[in-house]
């Protein structure tokens, strides 16, 4: 809205949904209320949180990553949304200043104990950056979609929290290391 010099009041009576608590808190920071948030923080679960009966005929704006799964827009259309606009709000990129050679050496020398991933794009970008054989490298994935992407590229996903937040991921990593230290 700032980019287009729009006033926050232009949101009017629009209902706002958030897929997870971090996004919900950021929205609340701008004095906006969340109408729907699913118990499981995945795009496709927002449909039930909104209510299938409330979707038909609506106009929906989805600000999200430039590259993302199409499951939410497709499902909204299938349930009769009149218009679904996907607005790329950010882009995930491979950092130009990453010490790729060091990462490759650490992988080759077996010096990586665990790689953490907070989205599928972090998995694919890491694999693209390192270009190294990654089969068997242990990984922690924030949620099931990220874990699926990691497994598909050869990572051994050993940590996957039940709640898909960074805090839960950290707790799950600590629990993993506590369990492995005891065995």
157 and 123 in a common domain: yes
Helix (H, G, I), strand (E, B) or coil at 24: helix
- 167 band by pLDDT with thresholds 50, 70 and 90: very high
- 146 band by pLDDT with thresholds 50, 70 and 90: very high
| Number of structural domains the chain divides into | 2
| CATH code of the domain covering residue 178 | 3.40.50.10090
First-residue to last-residue Cα distance in the chain: 53
Positive/negative CA dihedral, 130, 131, 136, 139: positive
130 and 59 in a common domain: no
- Tell whether 151 is covered by a domain: yes
Q: pLDDT tens across 81-90, in order?
A: 999 999 998 8
pLDDT for 171 equals 97
Say if CB 118 and CB 142 are below 8 A apart.
Answer: yes
C-beta neighbour count of 149 within 10 angstroms: 21
pLDDT for 135 equals 82
Say if CB 84 and CB 55 are below 8 A apart.
Answer: no
- Tell whether 3 is covered by a domain: no
Above 70 in pLDDT, residue 101?
A: yes
- 132 band by pLDDT with thresholds 50, 70 and 90: low
Q: pLDDT tens across 38-73, in order?
A: 988 888 889 999 999 999 999 999 998 888 889 999
106 and 84 in a common domain: no
Q: Which domain holds residue 54?
A: 8-90
Most confident range (mean pLDDT) of 3-7, 94-98, 159-163 is 159-163
């Amino acid at each position: 809205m700032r980019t287009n010099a729009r006033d926050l009041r232009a949101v009017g009576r629009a209902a706002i949904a958030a897929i997870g608590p971090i996004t919900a808190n950021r929205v609340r920071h701008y004095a906006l209320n969340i109408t729907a948030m699913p118990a499981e923080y995945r795009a496709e679960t927002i449909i039930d949180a909104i209510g299938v009966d409330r979707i038909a005929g609506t106009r929906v704006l989805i600000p999200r990553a430039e590259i993302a799964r199409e499951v939410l827009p497709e499902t909204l259309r299938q349930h009769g949304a009149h218009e679904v606009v996907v607005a790329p709000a950010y882009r995930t990129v491979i950092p130009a200043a990453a010490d790729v050679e060091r990462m490759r050496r650490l992988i080759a020398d077996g010096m990586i104990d665990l790689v953490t991933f907070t989205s599928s794009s972090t998995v694919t970008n890491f694999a693209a950056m390192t270009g190294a054989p990654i089969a068997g490298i242990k990984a922690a994935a924030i949620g099931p979609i990220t874990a699926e992407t990691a497994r598909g590229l050869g990572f051994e996903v050993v940590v996957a929290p039940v709640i898909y937040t960074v805090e839960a991921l950290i707790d799950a990593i600590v629990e993993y290391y506590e369990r492995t230290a005891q065995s």
